[in-house]
Structure 1
């Protein structure tokens, strides 16, 4: 038994929403961590409308910071919370949305994050995020998974910090280069899924990335939907 979890920066739904719906539907994710997810006052209906169109529901969301966790029909949502992270003058508000979900007896604490372009803020927020994730994981007996737009690359400090706390799913699965940005010409891996140690990473792929697989996801839709590519992993118990 595995759980499909994905992360996707949807660029505020500023691009083709029909293409975005087709991409998300084709991912077949049980859990989806969204970044730049607009709120309910958005012209196109925001994250709730997007979730409904994709056959999902909003499990957790932050009013600020543009992060949310969507749950598919196989998921039972056990807990949800959000937190605005430490504010830095002159920088954007950043937040964490966390949903504890259960799929066929496997329980995950899924956290959606969108880290800052400022290096020191990224690292400070990452430590804050991990403190929350450790607490939620312990309180609910769930394996922590963090998905998001990290806004840096694997050799940089914040990524290294997260990879020291959790397992970077893409290299654990050894599938392609995993480049996620930009969707039109992917040359950087700045979006990722990190899972608790002891979790079995069955697969992890970035549809459209070199060496990855698009499967049912249309390459044209990936370009039309957002400037980022999604990352999707299959996780099991007992890694």
Structure 2
């Protein structure tokens, strides 16, 4: 039997609210999830933003791969077993009067696998959000990789038009292998799942959900979103 060169990869997606809350709790949560890749939304974007993001990465035993202010908020952190091929931060078209949006993207190698990675934070406006969902799919298709993962704050739930557009073309990892909690936004009644991780069809989703072994007091102190953690098996490339 030929050796299995696939890679087991843990991906965390997390809106960190510009590190305005308890950054020590935030770092402890990320570290407890033991991720290989962290797809950040609302990374610091203003005064000394690079130092703040680097400090968080260091406290979580990770390094900054790309993103931050240069992607209008999305960023990617990674562990030391990740080899970076290339990165690109992309600013999306600006709608007057709205917040600038962007993608943090990279192509990496982990073990025998080659993987495209994208972190996003989509618009609050439905029509603009739908267009950005299409741009996300186009971006993944243009990365020149067989396997890819995208994660972020979609600002809508699974019944939304943009969420459905993504899940029609990619695997919604929580729906593929639910594990742990579902809802990532608990400030409404009922709570909602507006943060998600998606993977291309060739990726095996082992499990995905809001981690349940992190104390709720830590989660509430760290930021206003809950993290999403996916365990994936990436075929060798």
| TM-score, L = length of structure 2 | 0.90
1:33 maps to 39
1:12 maps to 18
Gaps of 5+ in 2: 1-6
C-alpha contact 1:6 1:232 (8 A) present in aligned 2: yes
1:118 maps to 125
- 1:130 aligned counterpart, secondary structure: helix
Q: Which residue of 216, 224, 227 corresponds with 2:221?
A: 224
Distance 1:174 1:7 in 2: 15
Q: Which residue of 26, 29, 49 corresponds with 1:23?
A: 29
1:181 maps to 185
1:149 maps to 153
Distance 1:30 1:91, change over 3 A: same
Distance 1:73 1:185, change over 3 A: farther
Distance 1:181 1:237 in 2: 28
In the comparison of the two structures, how many residue pairs are matched?
228
Distance 2:133 2:155 in 1: 12
Q: What does the per-residue CA deviation read over 1:38-63, in whole Å, with 9 as the maximum and x for residues that have no partner?
A: 04734894212211111111111151
1:163 maps to 167
Distance 1:77 1:183, change over 3 A: farther
1:210 maps to none
Distance 1:121 1:204, change over 3 A: same
Following TM superposition, by how much is the alpha carbon of 1:101 offset from its aligned partner in structure 2, in angstroms? 1.5
C-alpha contact 2:147 2:234 (8 A) present in aligned 1: no
Q: Which residue of 43, 50, 75 corresponds with 2:82?
A: 75
After superposing on structure 2, the runs of 4+ consecutive aligned residues of structure 1 that deviate more than 3 Å are 42-45, 183-186
Following TM superposition, by how much is the alpha carbon of 1:150 offset from its aligned partner in structure 2, in angstroms? 0.3
- 1:55 aligned counterpart, secondary structure: coil
Q: What does the per-residue CA deviation read over 1:193-225, in whole Å, with 9 as the maximum and x for residues that have no partner?
A: 000001100111212xxxxx22xx222111100
| RMSD, aligned α-carbons | 1.9
| TM-score, L = length of structure 1 | 0.90
Distance 2:148 2:217 in 1: 33
Distance 1:88 1:43 in 2: 24
C-alpha contact 1:180 1:229 (8 A) present in aligned 2: yes
Following TM superposition, by how much is the alpha carbon of 1:64 offset from its aligned partner in structure 2, in angstroms? 4.3
Gaps of 5+ in 1: 208-212
2:64 maps to 58
Following TM superposition, by how much is the alpha carbon of 1:15 offset from its aligned partner in structure 2, in angstroms? 0.4
- 2:201 aligned counterpart, secondary structure: coil
Distance 1:31 1:224, change over 3 A: same
Following TM superposition, by how much is the alpha carbon of 1:177 offset from its aligned partner in structure 2, in angstroms? 5.0
